[in-house]
Structure 1
């Protein structure tokens, strides 16, 4: 049994880490609101934020509830991958990310365990809107098109940030969106399809 003060120290360390994450979101320039912890059956988010916008003026639609550390990863992906690849392949800047699912208390489709959505640790990206280009819906794109090159690049490069990346070509369930999550696995194992 740990000494009485040890549990309190762990709570204090966690809240310091949570506070540091919130501070980092503010420094990065995200538009968000801090929310109280979520606990719904076995589903939970310890440090939830409701995100409406990312750096570079990119809006999140609809506003999405997620774990603070996940919001940091999403901001990193947009800033380091989506923005430069949109400029490279589409000659445009993303203005909006269309989200299908963020937090949702549910099992994985297989029913084997809880989905990362149940922990605010995953989102389904349905598409994008741009400043100088038409909207892009995640789907099988015409081979050789700028849209195909953009979608392929952002999907592949997401694997450096997220531990699970599933999209068109992965399986029948992910043909119309990019599922991006940060599931912790042994040995930093990643699933990128």
Structure 2
């Protein structure tokens, strides 16, 4: 179970940027830490998952919940998936949303929607709720190069209270695989959620 009682439930969204491996690995680690995860995967993210991984995840939220529950039944956490327009999902309201939300990966379109207050789907609404309620919102962007609008939106969202964490793995831990690079980013996310992790040792500490 996690070491911080305030972080019991996390809203995790995956949008249509390259790098869904980060989001999928984060989901596994959150469940391993005993978290309850409210999961949202955009239509574009499903396409990226099918392109970048060997995973086959159903788009239907009920079927997705059932498949992930079976897949991760050995872990103490719980996952509940929600659809694009499930306005009765906890994340759609300030009175029901989790204390922390992560969008991993966060596409440029999602970044723009959040910066301008759009709420055209549940992911955008959930991010809007996190901002208005002054709750933890972490945006794992993965885009290069960045143009002026990207940078302006990142600055705007940072000023609004969001934390922008580009998927930029370090190399000082001497990674030997793609999985090691993914774990570096996921470890930093877990650190910011105040959840225990042994994926990568913190700077100055012994190996995890």
Scaled by the length of structure 1, the TM-score of the pair is 0.30
Scaled by the length of structure 2, the TM-score of the pair is 0.28
| Bigger RCO of structures 1 and 2 (CA < 8 A, at least 6 apart) | 2
Higher strand fraction (1 or 2): 1
